[in-house]
Amino acid sequence: MFDDENQRPYPGKKDKNRWCKGKIGKEHSLQVAKYSDIKQRYANLKVGKHVFGANWYVQYCMSCGKEINIYYSFQKKNKPQWLVDYLKRTK
C-alpha cells in the first residue's frame, strides 16, 4: 500500500527538511550569508592565528532559520553554485 516514496507520515511528525516549518507546500525562502554574521557568538573567536569561521558561508531559510547548506573554506571540493552566485552578487 505504501512504498518508500509515499510513506504515511507518523502523527505529529512534520517534514521540516523539505518544507518550511513542516507545512506542506510552503517552500523555504533561502538566503546566503557569512557564518559569523548568523552566529554572532563566533564572530571574533580566534583559534590559533586563524579567525573561526572567517570564510564560511551558510545557506539558510529566512522564515524558520533552518541551515540548509554550509560551505567551509577549508573544503577542497569546488564551491557550490549557490555560493558562486552569492559571491558574484556581492562583488
Q: What is the pLDDT of residues 46-90, one digit of tens each?
A: 666 666 667 888 999 888 888 888 888 877 778 899 999 998 998
Is 21 among the domain residues? Answer: no
DSSP letter, residue 89? H
Is 16 among the domain residues? Answer: no
Beta bridge partners of 71: 57
pTM greater than 0.75 (yes/no):
no
Is 35 among the domain residues? Answer: yes
The C-alpha atoms of residue 59 and residue 67 are separated, in whole angstroms, by 6
Mean pLDDT of 14-18: 66
Is 19 among the domain residues? Answer: no
Mean pLDDT of 25-42: 80
| Domain carrying residue 49 | 29-90
Is 77 among the domain residues? Answer: yes
Report how many domains make up the chain: 1
Query: What pLDDT sits at residue 81?
Result: 92
Within 10 angstroms of residue 23's Cβ, the number of other Cβ atoms is 13
Q: What pLDDT band is residue 2 in, cutting at 50, 70 and 90?
A: very low
The C-alpha atoms of residue 60 and residue 67 are separated, in whole angstroms, by 4
Is 1 among the domain residues? Answer: no
Query: What pLDDT sits at residue 1?
Result: 47
Is 60 among the domain residues? Answer: yes
First to last CA, the chain: 53
Is 62 among the domain residues? Answer: yes
